[in-house]
Amino acid sequence: MPRALAIETSGRIGSVALVEDGRVLVEDQFPHGLQHAAEMIPRIDRLCRDRGWSPADLRELYVSAGPGSFTGLRIGITLAKTLAFATEARIVAVPSVRVLARNAPAEAEELIVVLDAKREQIFTSRFRRSSGDWQEQEPAHLDDLSSMLVRSPRPVFLLGDGIPQHQKFIPPDDAGIFLTPPDAWRPRAAAAAAEGVMLAASGAFIDPDRLHPIYLRKPEAEEKWEQMHR
């Protein structure tokens, strides 16, 4: 299998990972944001040099495409496009909710991803484990936690860094709802790599010109601008 790079910038902490023969060799994490975007190329270059790789050795790129942080997604998508144009590596756009689902505990059979979308809404997706793999029951969309819980069987596990902001919508007397630990709420490049390897094997590559973040709704700044200019 080809050498590859996984890029995860949809959460508060970003990370990149090198992959060879479908296996993660090394992962490096960093805070996301515009002030850290300039660090990513040197970090990737250092990881590659430590392995004796050149940029041309990267044949596939697995990028977490959202939903998630608007700024982080723009950075990750732009980086993937730049590397693809420079190295001719093929891109796989990995849904960030699937990256997060890989952090669920082994005993979880039903899972709801909870990412804060503000205004008491969440970016979310609902999964069910089948034969060891997560199957989407509801694809990524904008919703509220109360409605998601009404539609979900029990027991159900909640996972994602939007839990603290939306915990007030969890019925206190519902013993079938379980919160995953906070250290499981962070998406990781290693998980994006695992999803990317599977998608690449099925031929799910995307042209760089067609690669866009999965936002689910417009950024707040854009919505405010439109309201001001209506």
- DSSP run (H or E) holding 125: strand 121-130
Is the CB of residue 189 less than 8 Å from the CB of residue 17?
Answer: yes
Residue 31 pLDDT:
76
pLDDT at residue 32 in the model: 61
With a threshold of 0.75, does the pTM exceed it?
yes
* Counted domains in the chain: 2
- Contact status, residue 124 vs residue 143, Cβ threshold 8 Å: yes
Which parts of the chain have pLDDT scores under 50? none
82 within a domain of the structure (yes/no): yes
pLDDT recorded at residue 217: 73
Q: Of 184, 203, 220, at which residue does a domain stop?
A: 184
Q: Are residues 173 and 63 in the same domain?
A: no
Q: Are residues 30 and 50 in the same domain?
A: yes
What is the CATH classification number for the domain harbouring 70? Answer: 3.30.420.40
Q: Could you give the 3-state DSSP secondary structure of residue 115?
A: strand
Q: How far apart are CA 44 and CA 27, in angstroms?
A: 10
CA angle 45–194–158, rounded 5-degree value: 115
Please give the structure tokens belonging to residue 108. 């979880």
The confidence score (pLDDT) of residue 55 equals 84
Helices 34-50 and 70-87: angle between axes, nearest 10 degrees: 40
101 in any annotated domain: no
Both tokens of residue 78? 């732009």
Whether 47 maps to a domain, the answer reads yes
Q: Could you give the CA distance from residue 167 to residue 146 in angstroms, rounded to a whole number?
A: 10
Domain around 132: 106-184
For residue range 102-151, list pLDDT tens digits in order. 999 999 999 999 999 999 999 999 999 999 899 999 999 999 999 999 99
Do the domain assignments include residue 15?
yes
Same domain, 162 and 203: no
Q: Is residue 88 located within the same domain as residue 192?
A: yes
| Domain identity same for 92 and 7 | yes
What φ, ψ does residue 189 adopt, rounded to 5°? -60, -30
On whether both 57 and 111 belong to a single domain, the answer is no
Q: Return the pLDDT at 229.
A: 60
Q: Are 8 and 86 in the same domain?
A: yes
Cα 94 to Cα 30, 151, 175, 192: the distances in Å are 20, 25, 33, 7
In a domain, 164, yes or no: yes
Task: Note whether 111 and 191 are same-domain residues.
Answer: no
pLDDT at site 111: 98
Q: Round to whole Å and give the CA distance between 199 and 186.
A: 21
Query: Is 49 part of any domain?
Result: yes
76 in Cβ contact with 63 (< 8 Å)? yes
